[in-house]
Chains A and B, each alone.
Chain A
């Protein structure tokens, strides 16, 4: 398993931002990801765009379309990872068909091998439930990469066990039902969701709908080991693109927001600073 991901969660809550690689262009996207790294990212989830992103809301769907129109492909994605200069370990977030199709032989092994070669540390695959995940799990074991599962508010019982047996790195706790997308408020389901995973031995990172430093603080105070933020950051990229801002300006805004979120998470980890969350 990836020591770098372990280390990222080891001291204090982890800030895990997401961006779609290549959104809106290859060059700009490199700068945006690097800005998140400077802003305090502990792990970065890099989206490899798929044409049918069924788990995403409109914000990330649009980002994926921009990146695909900019010519992003799986092989370009691996080059992108090689070109990045960041401290944080990188996790690839994509859909199973791209993993399955890569290379000469169908199946996940070629993709995982190439991912290991360029230094990726793991995968999040939103359309791959534990039931279908064994081939990818085996390839990850072979190359020492992590496979992160998403636990939904609807996940219970045997299904939870099946995931627990197969997960490594961290577990992605989906804070509420639905697709990705920044919301004005963060769900109060977080505490309940985390309780179900209390005895899992991987860190729990909560995502879906986190937007501000204050959200981050409350989620961590509710017991999360990390926060995952996608749409709120993609919104900044989209706005920069639509209003014709320079790459540098958008990168600067991303860095500021990243710092705010990272600091919020850190504040949340110091219970004396925040009111105790209500117990359900």
Chain B
């Protein structure tokens, strides 16, 4: 999981007129300086640049070269504290229902209940090796905040988490968990109070405290070296899944499905498959309530950055963004807080641009239906983020070209468990009167679980 190369199958599309750029901004940079094709880079205030250089140096030495046995310790802690490896489980009822082999990569079984711990543990440990004294992080769904708070408590580091006000309200169980692990939770009131505002606020904190503080960014986003480093920490998912497929199925899967917010779950799930041309990779984005955009209101009723966004610069990287025609960033929407972000990781943007990864969307209602299906049929309550991936499985399996799209064997990453989402699910299910759902009215009429 330490190599720097990404596979580039060279199937670059011809850019449309809107995508062309002036020559000097071409594709001539390499991963060495933190770009993935035309995406990536380091667009941050000057005060942060030395910290990024320091981090890049630490990333190369400790992560890529295993200096002082960093990677050995990381792997050991992932095993002992994190509960890895996670199983690759055949989902019997889904396999029957969709008439193909469906395997679940169970990241919901990682300590804390989501893949987020892989990265948080890696970064907090790295901060420790770097001699930093304080940890800050942003969180959307609260899963990354929770994972960071856990890793920080585990490694005895003080920790502060920024979280948008809206997300504080819809993910209260995680707010409690962070507090109980000893982290400070700072609600952010700006904008719509979601992940994008929390990231901006964490960057502000970092630019004042950069000398002794490490910012544990929660996904494969932000300035170099974060996207590459977070991918490396998360790529343990596909490393295990690939081996498990070979062992358990005797072959590689035909397709891998993963939900994409910032893209850490997808990059983690895809990384060790990118060189395997026979494996189709699907990044499932939040289609929200609609793929249409209200430019005047500055709102996208979805978080489908790869599917509907355009190229721009946000939070330290050049990537795909939900933005208006002037370049102002739009408020995004998803029923799942963890997908509700107007940007996406630059490497994922690159893999989509080169055609290696296919972006697809699933709307709020389809995600809720998939949530109930997985819960009742397989006994797994998935995170609402994860439910989007199952929404796509359901949709694709019903198509005429299902065999082409999915193939005979499908791996879906269960990026996290859904305990944190129960209030939202009860409310939203009730609102929509979903048929597939069990009767939840008893909770709803009493004000949910509040």
Binding site for B on A (CB under 8 A): 50-57, 61, 65, 68, 73-75, 95-98, 100-102, 105-109, 126-129, 131-132, 134-135, 138, 149-156, 159, 174, 177-179
Give the size of the chain B interface in residues (CB under 8 angstroms). Answer: 43
Nearest B residue to A151, CB-CB? B46
B196 contacts partner chain A, Cβ-Cβ < 8 Å: yes
Q: How far is the CB of B189 from chain A (nearest CB, A)?
A: 10
Closest 5 pairs between A and B when the two form their complex, measured CB to CB: A101-B327, A178-B208, A107-B22, A152-B47, A55-B45
- At the interface with chain A, which of B71-79, B269-277, B306-314? B306-314
Write out the residue numbers on chain A whose beta carbons fall within 8 Å of the beta carbon of B314. Answer: 52, 97
In the docked arrangement, what's the CA distance between A178 and B207, Å?
A: 5
Which residues 19-61 of B sit at the A interface, judged by CB distance below 8 A? 19-22, 24-25, 33, 41-47, 49-51, 53
Given contacts A51-B328, A52-B200, A100-B327, contact A179 B207 (CB under 8 A): yes
B399 contacts partner chain A, Cβ-Cβ < 8 Å: no
| Contact A159–B210 (Cβ < 8 Å) | no
| Contact B42–A126 (Cβ < 8 Å) | no
| Contact A68–B328 (Cβ < 8 Å) | yes
| Contact B329–A52 (Cβ < 8 Å) | yes
B211 contacts partner chain A, Cβ-Cβ < 8 Å: yes
Given contacts A149-B46, A155-B50, contact A54 B204 (CB under 8 A): yes
Other-chain residue from B19, B20, B210 in contact with A154 (beta carbon distance below 8 A): B210
Write out the residue numbers on chain B whose beta carbons fall within 8 Å of the beta carbon of A135. Answer: 22, 24-25
| Contact B51–A154 (Cβ < 8 Å) | yes
In the docked arrangement, what's the CA distance between A169 and B203, Å?
A: 28
Other-chain residue from B43, B210, B321, B325 in contact with A132 (beta carbon distance below 8 A): B43
Task: Given contact pairs A129-B43, A131-B42, enumerate 18 new A-B contacts (beta carbons under 8 Å).
Answer: A51-B298, A54-B204, A61-B190, A65-B190, A97-B312, A97-B313, A97-B323, A107-B25, A127-B45, A127-B313, A152-B46, A154-B46, A154-B51, A159-B53, A177-B207, A177-B209, A177-B210, A178-B204
| Contact A51–B329 (Cβ < 8 Å) | yes
Q: Please, what's the 1-or-0 string for B317-358, where 1 marks a CB less than 8 Å from any CB in chain A?
A: 000010101111100000000000000000000000000000
B315 contacts partner chain A, Cβ-Cβ < 8 Å: yes
Q: How far is the CB of B154 from chain A (nearest CB, A)?
A: 29
Write out the residue numbers on chain A whose beta carbons fall within 8 Å of the beta carbon of B33. Answer: 131
Which residues 183-201 of B sit at the A interface, judged by CB distance below 8 A? 190-191, 196, 200
| Contact B25–A126 (Cβ < 8 Å) | no
| Contact A177–B208 (Cβ < 8 Å) | yes
Nearest A residue to B45, CB-CB? A55
Write out the residue numbers on chain A whose beta carbons fall within 8 Å of the beta carbon of B190. Answer: 61, 65
| Contact B50–A174 (Cβ < 8 Å) | no
| Contact B22–A126 (Cβ < 8 Å) | no
In the docked arrangement, what's the CA distance between A100 and B313, Å?
A: 8
Nearest A residue to B50, CB-CB? A154
In the docked arrangement, what's the CA distance between A52 and B49, Å?
A: 18
Nearest B residue to A137, CB-CB? B24
In the docked arrangement, what's the CA distance between A106 and B315, Å?
A: 18
Write out the residue numbers on chain B whose beta carbons fall within 8 Å of the beta carbon of A109. Answer: 22
In the docked arrangement, what's the CA distance between A153 and B45, Å?
A: 12
Write out the residue numbers on chain A whose beta carbons fall within 8 Å of the beta carbon of B22. Answer: 105-109, 135
